[in-house]
Structure 1
């Protein structure tokens, strides 16, 4: 699938990506790697090269190389701990019980400290680096349709990557551009997915609405669980677009024959936070799906009359008054059961 960020084939179908997982981050018999103390600067020794047999390198060795380039460019003083480099996001993200050996172009670096010169060098000189993103305070996305959106800055490469989330019916693959969507760490046990599966088992919905879909994780899990029709919605353009892409990537497991994406990434970006719902994509087959970009409080205008279950995974769950108001309005306009994961 054409990548809207770099133009390459960064998005593959779920079956292809999952088939590569068992050996993706495993060392070969010739691999060697040193474990470094993340609370101290890396030791003053040469950076190990990738394994000549398989091309992978232990993540601590990769981070030591990144640290040295950032120090040489003045982004680090050289006295900070190795962990000061930033946050490593591997592609694809999967639950791990041991530190990975990284193949080429498998790491997106999120860092508050990295500058443009170092980012360019990291992409050119560290083969495992896929993209470099400079972060700041806040979380990418939008908290409400009347609030200013938050994004990070892609400095080099491509920051499109996937996470693999386990469900009882099998895994779902969730692609996203990491500078514009929040981080989700896949774990063996995902409480949001488990709560969704309990609700589906209890209510057996025919139509499920993921009203704050993000990149589509809960809706995809609902489709995996056998819900015949899933409707996704998010006010943020990147969430709506990547949800559409994730429907296409997972279509075989979802029982979907065809996904039609009606809006391009560039088109959606021109109106990054939508009010009135806009149809972004449709999917047909043994199961059906639709993706909207819009304010969930206006979504009733485009919903079918028989919505059985909706998830309201709001950004700010601590605001009890806001959640109560939105929930009450949803029940009055849409009906059906509601749960907050």
Structure 2
């Protein structure tokens, strides 16, 4: 399977390439300048706005303190009339570094390493940010508090609007079998911030360890994180499923990225009038990938599983999902 980004650039790399230098990717060099900025104090009271540009705080190594990058973004938003002169850094938006990796310090950003989600943004301003702030990879408009994706078959989907650049990001997720790279078109996939550990994966693998090479049904797989962790921890087979086609597309990419070759069986562009797919989408040596409502999926699967995983969005009732999986799975894990 060819790993290609919608933007046409080389945004998707195999896990070994991403992880090779990740521990130092955001580390400042000895010459990088430190900044002490107050997030809740108006920017105009902390520095001369006229002196803010892409050279502010830039080191010879090419990196800049993330707060300084956000300062330049805020300055542009003030110039464009989207923020008042009294605005603070807390009012800019939600910064998402890529690769997403937890650091004990504020990261120093190289070029094209930041996607920002802003609730108030115009296309002209977004294009200016992309043009003038080298660290910015993409600008999304939307409410970070809303759940991106499709909660269930009875709900309407919600996505961000990509106003400029590219929204393809990678999050580094820790697991006992090594770090996993999870790519996301962030406008279509819910935000999860990187942590030094993954309680979800730890819970899954703790239960998985009770079985000898278990078969696992990840019924709400999202971009594939939990199922990939199970594959890396010697699951006999994992069936991935999600009702949201963009999540299934990311699962296919993430399987390939993490060393599990994928055979596509369906063109992902062949959706129904509601923008949905239905049925078996792809397969590989130890996995299958479906895009179905869970309640329909159980009627298509002619096998039993040791473990079923239900990881729904907040506020989604999961009783029906659990009831459906109970016909196929010996044990059900609710995340």
TM-score tier after normalising by the smaller chain length: over 0.9
**Per-residue deviation, residues 274-315 of structure 1 (Å, max 9, x unmatched):** 4xx42222122xxx1111111011112332413111101122
Q: In structure 2, how many angstroms separate the alpha carbons of the residues matched to 1:340 and 1:56?
A: 42
2:94 equivalent among 70, 87, 101: 87
Q: In structure 1, how many angstroms separate the alpha carbons of the residues matched to 2:298 and 2:272?
A: 24
In structure 2, stretches of 5+ residues that fail to align are none
Q: In structure 2, how many angstroms separate the alpha carbons of the residues matched to 1:24 and 1:266?
A: 35
**Per-residue deviation, residues 70-94 of structure 1 (Å, max 9, x unmatched):** 1101110121211110011000001
Equivalent residue number for residue 324 of structure 1: 319
Tell me if the contact between 1:165 and 1:172 (Cα under 8 Å) persists in the aligned partners: yes
RMSD: 1.8
In structure 1, stretches of 5+ residues that fail to align are none
Q: In structure 2, how many angstroms separate the alpha carbons of the residues matched to 1:264 and 1:196?
A: 31
Equivalent residue number for residue 235 of structure 1: 243
Q: Which moved more, 1:111-120 or 1:124-133?
A: 111-120
Change (3 A) 1:329 1:216: same
Tell me if the contact between 1:237 and 1:271 (Cα under 8 Å) persists in the aligned partners: no
Change (3 A) 1:172 1:121: same
Tell me if the contact between 1:33 and 1:61 (Cα under 8 Å) persists in the aligned partners: no
Give the alignment's TM-score, normalised by structure 1.
0.90
Q: In structure 2, how many angstroms separate the alpha carbons of the residues matched to 1:205 and 1:299?
A: 23
Equivalent residue number for residue 136 of structure 2: 129
Question: 1:263 Cα shift?
Answer: 3.9
Tell me if the contact between 1:30 and 1:51 (Cα under 8 Å) persists in the aligned partners: no
Question: 1:270 Cα shift?
Answer: 6.4
Q: Which runs of structure 2 are paired with 1:190-205 in the superposition (5 Å)?
A: 190-205=198-213
2:292 equivalent among 294, 307, 332: 294
Alignment length, in residue pairs?
327
| Higher helix fraction (1 or 2) | 1
Question: 1:267 Cα shift?
Answer: 3.6
Q: In structure 1, how many angstroms separate the alpha carbons of the residues matched to 2:226 and 2:127?
A: 36
Question: 1:230 Cα shift?
Answer: 1.0
Give the alignment's TM-score, normalised by structure 2.
0.92
